[in-house]
């Protein structure tokens, strides 16, 4: 039986991981759960799975903990994340918290010798070299949970010594795929949050609409699979059935197909190198009839160009890209700036903060802070 700690247990990834634990009680024991602020949802999870430790990063007053949950050790703030990642007994740590806070948790888990199931893009986007170096020293491969990176990882398992030439990273195209540039520029939060295929949180849904999410995934793929950005190609695939593919040196292309349901990649990471029954039906190819593949329009979606420029620039450029985007998306969701302003503010921050170092965690966090300040101070 594997012991698993789940950071971000009340979010979409966390709740689906718990569904798999529920399906396989003979294989998984939940030892730690953390959430940001969804206390009632976390209380229900603790009541069901009875972990040793639980925590709310926004804090909790001990008087608020229900009497029947006091068997569990309760913690608050960053200490809750550290305890769940590195102190509570666990074989696996699923890091599904949002934002740069995930970097510290991934580093903590790897330093404690845990297997990291990675559902936090920012850890590799901002600190890819730190994370991959530590994973190599620990002898623990990072197991990706993002559907695209899981698909690539699965395809590489069948390589048999065949060298990968290129990654084909698929993108749904989001709600604005067929819109013109001016209409995209003026899009509202309600329009950006209307994703055609996935049910996700507000920030990642806006990132899908702008394709900043795909820019972050290019960065993530560069570190996970040790390929330069010019060998990672984005392919718009609106049906979201092909989750990504790998082109090999002998001319073969291996792809992973499935319905848009995150339980498949989560289950693959949880059971690796085995496979887990997830309750997800396979796609009916006869019902689908046909699949569509298109080149992305980088004039309408400048995030792709900016992501590649950040990777080529090195240093803290990817951290600036990420932090500036988070701040700009938050301003957009507050209806303070138009949709088209997100990319402009990110590019301005990258230009302003060009050349910042990222040799350690302190420099990365400083670059993130300065990127956010640059966006907040922009006009």
Read off the pLDDT of residues 62-106 as tens digits, 9 standing for 90 and up.
999 999 999 999 999 999 999 999 999 999 999 999 889 899 999
**Region of poorest pLDDT, from 155-169, 185-199, 251-265:** 185-199
CA 134/CA 143 separation, integer angstroms: 14
Length of the chain: 379
Between the CA of residue 189 and those of 44, 160, 193, 339, what are the distances in Å?
31, 46, 6, 8
For Cα atoms 41, 272, 249, give the angle at the middle one, nearest 5 degrees.
125
* Separation between Cα atoms, residue 118 and residue 161, nearest integer Å: 25
Chain segment 292-307, per-residue pLDDT in tens = 999 999 999 999 999 9
Give the whole-angstrom CA distance, residue 308 versus residue 303: 9
DSSP SS3 for 96: coil
Q: What is the pLDDT of residue 198?
A: 64
Distance CA 74, CA 61 (A): 10
Q: Are strands 53-56 and 28-35 parallel, antiparallel or unpaired?
A: parallel
Check whether domain 2-141 has CATH 3.60.20.10, yes or no: no
Give the domain ranges of the chain: 2-141, 149-178+193-298
Q: Which of 94, 103, 82 is nearest to 19 (CA)?
A: 94
The answer to whether residue 379 scores a pLDDT higher than 70 is: no
Q: Which pLDDT score is estimated for 234?
A: 98
CA torsion, points 107, 112, 113, 119, in degrees to nearest 10?
-40
Strand partners, 233: 168
Residues 6+ apart with CB under 8 A from 339: 184, 185, 186, 187, 188, 192, 209, 210, 332
DSSP letters of 150-203?
A: HHHHHHHHT-TTPPEEEEEEEE---TTTTS-HHHHHT--HHHHT--SS----HH
pLDDT category at 199 given cuts 50, 70, 90 is low
Per-residue model confidence as pLDDT tens digits over 234-284: 999 999 999 999 999 999 999 999 999 999 999 999 999 999 999 999 999
pLDDT of residue 52: 98
């Amino acid at each position: 039986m594997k012991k698993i700690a789940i950071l971000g247990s009340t979010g979409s990834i966390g709740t689906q991981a718990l569904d798999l634990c529920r399906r396989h009680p003979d294989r998984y024991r939940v030892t730690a759960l953390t959430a940001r602020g969804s206390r009632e949802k976390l209380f229900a999870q603790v009541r069901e799975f009875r972990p040793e430790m639980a925590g709310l990063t926004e804090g909790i007053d001990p008087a608020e903990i229900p009497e029947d949950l006091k068997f569990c050790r309760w913690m608050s703030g960053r200490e809750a994340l550290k305890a769940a990642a590195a102190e509570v007994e666990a074989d696996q740590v699923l890091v599904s918290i949002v934002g740069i806070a995930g970097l510290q948790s991934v580093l903590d888990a790897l330093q404690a010798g845990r297997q990291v199931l990675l559902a936090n893009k920012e850890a590799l986007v901002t600190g890819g070299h730190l994370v991959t170096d530590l994973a190599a020293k620990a002898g623990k491969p990072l197991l990706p949970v993002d559907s695209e990176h899981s698909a690539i990882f699965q395809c590489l398992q069948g390589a048999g010594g065949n060298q990968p030439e290129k990654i084909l990273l698929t993108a749904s195209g989001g709600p604005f795929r067929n819109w013109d540039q001016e209409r995209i520029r003026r899009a509202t939060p309600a329009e950006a949050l209307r994703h055609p295929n996935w049910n996700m949180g507000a920030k990642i849904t806006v990132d899908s609409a702008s394709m900043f999410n795909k820019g972050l995934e290019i960065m993530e793929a560069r570190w996970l699979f040790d390929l330069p950005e010019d060998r990672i190609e984005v392919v718009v695939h609106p049906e979201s059935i092909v989750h990504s593919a790998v082109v090999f040196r002998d001319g073969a292309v291996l792809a992973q197909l499935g319905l848009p349901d995150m339980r498949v990649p989560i289950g693959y990471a949880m059971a690796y190198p085995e496979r887990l029954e997830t309750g997800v039906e396979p796609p009916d190819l006869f019902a689908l009839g046909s699949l569509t593949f298109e080149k992305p329009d980088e004039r309408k979606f400048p995030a792709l160009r900016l992501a590649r420029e950040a990777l080529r620039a090195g240093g803290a450029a990817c951290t600036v890209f990420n932090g500036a985007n988070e701040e700009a998306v938050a301003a957009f969701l507050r209806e303070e700036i138009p949709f088209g302003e997100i990319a402009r503010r990110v590019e301005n921050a990258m230009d302003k903060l060009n050349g910042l170092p990222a040799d350690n965690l302190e420099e990365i966090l400083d670059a993130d802070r300065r990127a956010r300040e640059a966006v907040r101070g922009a006009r």
